[in-house]
Amino acid sequence: MGLTYQSSGKGALREDYLSCNVKGDYVIALAGNPNTGKSTVFNALTGLKQHTGNWPGKTVVQALGNYKHGQKQITLVDLPGTYSLLANSPEEQVARDFICFAEPDATVVVVDATCLERNLNLVLQVLEITSRSIVCLNLMDEARRKKISIDVPALANKLGVPVIPTAARNGEGLTLLKDTINLVAAGTIELNPRRLVYDAKLEAAILELAGELEPLLPPQINRRWIALRLIDGDYTVIDGISKFLEKKLIKEDFAS
Amino acid sequence: METKYCRDTLASLCVGQRGVVSSLAAEGMGRRRMLDLGLVPGTIVESVRRSPAGDPTAYIIRGAVIALRSEESSKIFVNPL
Amino acid sequence: MTQPVEYGGLNQIVKKAAEYGRTQGEGVRDQIVSHIYGEAEKLAATVVTCSNERTDWDRKIDNIITSRFFGYPLMLALLGAVFWVTISGANVPSEMLANLLFGIEDWLSSLFIGAGAPGWLHGVVVLGTYRGLAWVVSVMLPPMAIFFPIFTLLEDLGYLPRVAFNLDHAFKRVGAHGKQALTMSMGFGCNAAGVIAARIIDSPRERLIAILTNNFVPCNGRFPALIAISIIFVAGGVFSAYGTLAASAMVVAMILVGISVTLAVSWLLSKTLLKGEPSSFTLELPPYRKPQIIPVIVRSLFDRTAFVLARAVAVAAPAGALTWIFANIYIGDLSIIGHVAGWLEPFGRAIGLDGIIILAFILGLPANEIVVPIMIMGYLSAGSMLEFDSLLAFRELLLSQNWTLLTALNFMLFSLLHFPCGTTLLTIHKETGSLKWTVLAAVIPTIIAILVCFSITQGVRLFNLL
């Protein structure tokens, strides 16, 4: 009776978001700005084992790929390239909904090492939604060519999530990336993602709303982030929430 | 005392000139798009080149080169440097 | 704004959130984004060290490519160069393939005849199906194998956004979106791909304009025909150095016509069927990246080769068979093709073509590459295709059918402007979800093609120009 949120299995909504059936141990989301070599990373990891379709109900392309690493079958979901997740366009909404509601086992954000500041915009937004994130610092070869150097350990420290330097075009760093993906997905790495703290008034409002959301939303969904979205006037999250809750309800009906 | 209230926009920057974003005139969706590009107040922008046809113009915004039409760049107020 | 969900407390919360949002006005979004960028800036500052020589190569190159004086001429020159390379490069492989495949055909023929197979079977399988296949592969494959890798290299390099940057103004003036320059470029490879590429345009109105006009740039299925006709009528049918240059120029001229028509029709659409305001345009000009040449070439070769072969088998082979059948079934003293061509003749003549050509275009709906083989088959009242060991043989055939420069011009224009191929139409239907627009996508170009050819033909005849 009422809405309870006993966990009824990870990623209850996944089938709703994916254009074809996936079987595997982990589902990993691949996010990033356009022009960061995200497709190169995707291709490098999945080779020819790809399937292209559409996100259900949208004319946005969805690419799925598979690979095996360390005894695990991984399904990689290539999210549309976006500059931000503030739902200004169908692409951003698709990416955002997947990361938040389909609960991927890990989200990899591909970042252009030659343009870190701009790319961090997306990274920080992803960290606001989910802690299971990995930053793939791609185009390291270009960065070296332009004599840009990045203090990777410091960055990882400040972000609180793994940062893996790669040059996907040469295959550089990909093994480490795959290792890290497995570790994060399995939950073996301790993650302490940097959380954004806004000004006092906004924070107070967020806290209040998040508190009111608590009885309604399962713990997997980031209440603080939802509260922020609602304050920002972004009601498209409600679709995602309703779908999520419906799915849970149906599962409970079957269970009882 | 006479203060000339004259506001420079991104569109008025000469090629090669830099400026600091002071405010945005656009509202709604247009404003959100500009913000998402990184054009928040305090950002340093540089006008890089114009299309051979005169419009759009390319600007360096937070490390990326982005082309904007004059309809949009004339709604972004800057203080030239 | 979506309906807040019916789940009890959620409604209240949404109302509260809306309240708070209202008290801040536009401020909330501003605050959030400013804060995020502020954090990003601080973070980056602490971990990144640059030697601050900001990509000077990029700037220098772009200064030339987008310069007022060199920008447009350079783009044109590059276009010409790409086609010149495609034409010259494809020549020898085409001939080699033709020799190979038609050699096999002879062998097949002797096999059939030796086994005592009935004439019609030999005709349908060897003279129709196999020849259709062989012709398409030997003529289409080489140019595709050259053009696509070049295009993909340019894409990987980062050149295409510069094209959009240079052409945006023109597209804005006609009420379309700057990114249409990109979808148009994709259309050179394959119109269906160009239609799908239109997804990069957010506004539905401008996306539709891009989709409906994509057809006016010639795809790889139409190039070989344009090139062949150019060479025959502009260069006298010979692959000389001058000849190839002149033919390339002709093809480039055709493309410029295509681009002008694209702009004109976009303008017309935005004033009539697709009225509306221009949407916003932000385009990132990424730094130039060295494309990985070998992987690109290998990838495009395999993709394209596989694609052409698949299409040849699926479309050209059956079309070849059917055409042979229609050309060899007689009703009275004319074959079916003869009859239909006869009906179409007056219409054809009016627009500077003839009945067979029109029939070939109609039968070529499934795929543009079979238009010429069908046309040739139609001309040979013997009812089967001639082997093309030389372009000169083709030239002889056309001249014997009373082709003039005017006919050639009209043929090229009609090919450039007529309805999209079957694959493209299916793609349009899938992308727009609308039967109405798909039909319009076929009707509008055809009407334009007819009008243009008609005007040119009547004009030339009137003033006795040619």
C218 Cβ neighbours under 8 A, 6+ residues apart: C188, C226, C254, C255, C258, C415, C416
Residue in chain A nearest B61 by alpha carbon: A118
The verdict on C33 touching B (C-beta cutoff 8 Å) is: yes
Check: CB of residue C217 under 8 Å from CB of residue C259.
yes
Residue C49 has pLDDT above 70, yes or no: yes
The verdict on B22 touching C (C-beta cutoff 8 Å) is: no
Q: CA of B33, closest CA in chain C: separation in Å?
A: 9
Burial of residue B21, with CB atoms counted within 10 A of its CB: 0-12 exposed, 13-18 middle, 19 or more buried: buried
In whole angstroms, what is the distance from residue C381 CA to residue C338 CA? 8
Nearest to B36 among A88, A114, A117 (CB): A88
CATH class of B8-80: mainly beta
- Minimal CA–CA distance to C262: which of C209, C308, C309, C320? C209
User: Per DSSP, what are the bridge partners of residue A135?
Assistant: A109, A163
In whole angstroms, what is the distance from residue C278 CA to residue A117 CA? 31
User: Per DSSP, what are the bridge partners of residue A64?
Assistant: A51, A77
On average, the pLDDT of chain B sits at: 86
C387 Cβ neighbours under 8 A, 6+ residues apart: C98, C102, C105, C131, C393
| Chain A with chain B: Cβ pairs closer than 8 A | 23
CB-based contact C20 A231, cutoff 8 Å: yes
Lowest mean pLDDT among C205-209, C308-312, C333-337: C308-312
Whether a cis peptide bond, with omega within 30° of 0, leads into C346 is: no
C96 Cβ neighbours under 8 A, 6+ residues apart: none
| Chain B with chain C: Cβ pairs closer than 8 A | 91
> In this structure, are strands A148-150 and A50-54 parallel, antiparallel, or unpaired?
unpaired
**Could you state, in order of their start, the residue ranges of all structural domains in chain C?**
8-49, 64-463
- pLDDT number for residue A7: 34
In whole angstroms, what is the distance from residue A21 CA to residue A9 CA? 17
* ipTM value: 0.89
**pLDDT category, A10, cuts 50, 70, 90?**
low
Interface of B with A in 34-73 (CB under 8 A): 36-38, 61-64
Beta strands in A14-121 (DSSP E): 26-32, 50-54, 61-69, 72-78, 106-112
Count of alpha carbons within 13 Å of C207, Cβ hemisphere only?
Answer: 14
- pLDDT number for residue C238: 62
**pLDDT (tens digit per residue) in C423-438:** 899 889 988 888 999 9
- pLDDT number for residue C13: 76
- Minimal CA–CA distance to C268: which of C448, C456, C454, C455? C448
Check: CB of residue A137 under 8 Å from CB of residue A165.
yes
Higher pLDDT, A106 or C99: A106
**Could you state, in order of their start, the residue ranges of all structural domains in chain B?**
8-80
Burial of residue A184, with CB atoms counted within 10 A of its CB: 0-12 exposed, 13-18 middle, 19 or more buried: buried
Extract the tokens encoding B20.
């600091």
Domains in chain A with CATH codes: 14-186 (3.40.50.300), 200-255 (no CATH)
* Residues of A whose CB is below 8 A from C4: 235, 238
**pLDDT category, C387, cuts 50, 70, 90?**
low
**pLDDT (tens digit per residue) in C14-38:** 777 777 777 766 578 888 899 999 9
**pLDDT (tens digit per residue) in A232-252:** 878 788 877 777 777 665 544
CB-based contact C39 A120, cutoff 8 Å: yes
Check: CB of residue A101 under 8 Å from CB of residue A116.
no
Phi, psi of B73, rounded to the nearest 5 degrees: -70, -20
Nearest to C34 among B40, B52, B67 (CB): B40
**pLDDT (tens digit per residue) in C111-142:** 888 888 787 788 778 777 887 788 778 777 78
Residue in chain A nearest B39 by alpha carbon: A118
Check: CB of residue C324 under 8 Å from CB of residue C384.
yes
CB-based contact A148 C16, cutoff 8 Å: no
- Interface mutation target, options C10, C15, C429, chain A, most CBs of A under 10 Å: C10
Q: CA–CA distance from C101 to each of A61, C70, C134, C144, C315 (Å)?
A: 39, 45, 6, 18, 18
Instruction: Give the amino acid at C139.
Output: V
C394 Cβ neighbours under 8 A, 6+ residues apart: C228, C232, C237, C376, C386, C388
C34 Cβ neighbours under 8 A, 6+ residues apart: B35, B40, B41, B42
| pTM listed for this prediction | 0.83
- pLDDT number for residue C215: 92
In whole angstroms, what is the distance from residue C459 CA to residue C462 CA? 5
Q: CA of B67, closest CA in chain C: separation in Å?
A: 5
**pLDDT category, A256, cuts 50, 70, 90?**
very low
**pLDDT (tens digit per residue) in A151-199:** 999 999 999 999 999 998 888 899 999 999 999 998 888 888 888 888 8
Q: What is the DSSP letter of A167?
A: B
Burial of residue A218, with CB atoms counted within 10 A of its CB: 0-12 exposed, 13-18 middle, 19 or more buried: middle
In b/e form, how buried is each residue of C316-328, taking b as 16+ CB within 10 angstroms? Answer: bbbbbbbbbbbbb
Q: CA of A179, closest CA in chain B: separation in Å?
A: 31
